[in-house]
Every structure is written in C-alpha cells, then in structure tokens.
Amino acid sequence: MYNQKTIYVIGDAKSPQNNPITKKYSQFFLALVIDVTSDEIVDSECSSTIQLTNQFVRSLFIGRKVDDDKVEEDIRKRYLGSSQKALIVAFYDAKNKYEQAKAALTK
C-alpha cells in the first residue's frame, strides 16, 4: 500500500480530561505516513471517537508538506474540537520524530 520511500510516525499529546478521546485512549495520537523524497504527508489517522473527526483531520494533513508553516494556522482556524491543542502538539511531536528518522536515513 505504501512505497519504500515512506516513513510512519506517531505523535502523541495529552488531551483534555473531559474529552472522550482521553477516556478511551488516555492520550491523543496522530499517525502520519510521509514520503521521504518529497516530505509530503500521504496518509494520516488520529485517535478519535467519531469517524468524521478522523476524516476531517486527514483532510488537514494529506497532500501537504510536513514542514508547511500553515498547518498549525489551519488547525487553529478549522479544527474547533476540544482536542485542538492536543492535535497541534501531536503534529509537532510527529514532525520531530520524522525529522530525526529522516536524518538517520541520510547518514
């Protein structure tokens, strides 16, 4: 399904205590599949309790470069769920893990 030039990373963050995601998973997770040749996000999934949330989050990431400066801005403008901050933190965590993995590949 994914070619040999992709990396799978998971970012995590704490979501609010009153959030159903916290009750179900304890944490908020964002999974990204990223093409290392282009830095493009080719697939995404998050820990959510509603399928529509996962679909919407996918639309925020798929087709974008992992270093796109406007990702956080788009999340703040468009994702108005209670786990907005957790999504941003999880994205940066996944981005950091991707950058470390990519650097290790080029050594």
Q: What Å distances lie between residue 36 and 13, 14, 69, 88, CA to CA?
A: 24, 28, 18, 21
Whether 34 and 9 have beta carbons less than 8 Å apart is answered as yes
8 Å CB contact between 100 and 36: no
d(CA 66, CA 38): 9
Residues 6+ apart with CB under 8 A from 92: 11
Alpha carbons 51 and 19: distance in angstroms, whole number:
15
**Could you tell me if 12 and 4 are in contact, meaning their C-beta atoms sit under 8 angstroms apart?**
no
Tens-level pLDDT at each residue, the chain (107 residues): 999 999 999 999 986 566 555 555 568 899 999 999 999 999 999 988 789 999 999 999 999 999 999 999 999 999 998 889 999 999 999 999 999 999 998 77
CB atoms within 10 A of CB 91: 24
Write the CATH number of the domain with boundaries 6-99: 3.90.1010.10
pTM exceeding 0.75: yes
